[in-house]
Amino acid sequence: MTPFAQNPTPHAPGPTAQAPRPMKRLYLLAIISFLSIPVVTVLAGVVFSAIDPEIAAGHPDYERNYRLLDMAKHLSLLAGLLLDLGLWILTCFFLLRSKGRSAGWLPLAILGPFGFIPLTWLRDMEPAPEDGYQQFLRKLNTALRVVYELCMFLAVWVVAYQIMLLKRDLQILYESATTGVSTAAIEEIRNASGGMWAFSEGIVVLYLVVLLYLLWPICFNVVAQLLRRAAGRRRSSE
């Protein structure tokens, strides 16, 4: 018997063998990218407010220094906008990759939340065995899936709007407590500049819609896991 027969060389895995993809990690990266957007926005606003071109007054080359500081002030906003855009694209990209989907769907990100929602409807090509949410979706036929997604769509928008209203009320209460101005007076001031507040509150609702869509599968799986454990303990005690 030849040495090769006594010590056979193990065969290398075929070209179709693939290591399991870290789907949970990719999905968490999508959530982290999305949660980073308001952080970047706030930091850009802080930098914008901190740069005062008037500090160049009294120094030589005042006009040149003023222009440079003013340019830096506005570039900080542009940089924040570009970073937010990059984080948004990463959010959609990580979501697609977590589902084993092609980046060809990425142009839907241009539509913002209205393009993101269809991305969440895409079927997960390689669901994790413990992913109860994907198992639940796979049990639905086409008609039930359409009804479910419509109900989900309405529920998410209602919940996002209610959270925005709660945030607004808490802000008014906090402003009233710190300034001593009555809540009615603060509401009148806000109503006087209703367009600005309506725009900012609309942005909050859009942000919450995407966040709720991202968090819902995790919440579903956590609740399903808790129910399975409770059922297991109940069976073991019987």
pLDDT at 92 over 80: yes
The reply to whether 2 falls in a domain is: no
Same domain, 27 and 89: yes
Same domain, 100 and 154: no
pLDDT at 194 over 70: no
Please write the tens of the pLDDT for every residue from 24-43. 789 999 999 999 999 999 99
**Number of separate domains in the chain:** 2
Mean pLDDT in residue range 161-189: 88
Where does the pLDDT of residue 65 fall: very low under 50, low under 70, confident under 90, or very high at 90 and above? confident
Same domain, 95 and 150: no
What pLDDT was estimated at residue 81? Answer: 95
> Percent of the chain having pLDDT more than 90?
50
Same domain, 135 and 89: no
What pLDDT was estimated at residue 12? Answer: 43
Residues across the chain? 238
The reply to whether 17 falls in a domain is: no
pLDDT at 1 over 70: no
Same domain, 179 and 217: yes
What pLDDT was estimated at residue 159? Answer: 97
Domain that residue 84 falls in: 22-108
Rounded Cα distance, 45 and 85, in Å:
16
Where does the pLDDT of residue 197 fall: very low under 50, low under 70, confident under 90, or very high at 90 and above? confident
Rounded Cα distance, 93 and 133, in Å:
20
Mean pLDDT in residue range 59-79: 85
Mean pLDDT in residue range 48-62: 79
Rounded Cα distance, 43 and 33, in Å:
15
What pLDDT was estimated at residue 130? Answer: 80
What pLDDT was estimated at residue 179? Answer: 85
Mean pLDDT in residue range 141-155: 96
Last residue of a domain, one of 108, 140, 155: 108
Where does the pLDDT of residue 238 fall: very low under 50, low under 70, confident under 90, or very high at 90 and above? low
Same domain, 161 and 202: yes
The reply to whether 1 falls in a domain is: no
Where does the pLDDT of residue 13 fall: very low under 50, low under 70, confident under 90, or very high at 90 and above? very low
Name all contacts of 114-121 with Cβ < 8 Å and 24+ positions apart: 116/91, 116/92, 116/210, 116/213, 117/153, 117/209, 117/213, 119/92, 119/95, 120/95, 120/213, 121/149
What pLDDT was estimated at residue 16? Answer: 41
Do 88 and 109 meet the contact criterion of CB atoms below 8 Å apart? Answer: yes
What pLDDT was estimated at residue 199? Answer: 86
pLDDT at 115 over 70: yes
Rounded Cα distance, 106 and 118, in Å:
11
Q: What is the DSSP string of 46-107?
A: HHHHH--GGGGTTSSSHHHHHHHHHHHHHHHHHHHHHHHHHHHHHHHHHHHHHTT--GGGGG
What pLDDT was estimated at residue 62? Answer: 77
What pLDDT was estimated at residue 43? Answer: 94
pLDDT at 5 over 50: no
What pLDDT was estimated at residue 15? Answer: 42
Where does the pLDDT of residue 166 fall: very low under 50, low under 70, confident under 90, or very high at 90 and above? very high
Same domain, 142 and 86: no
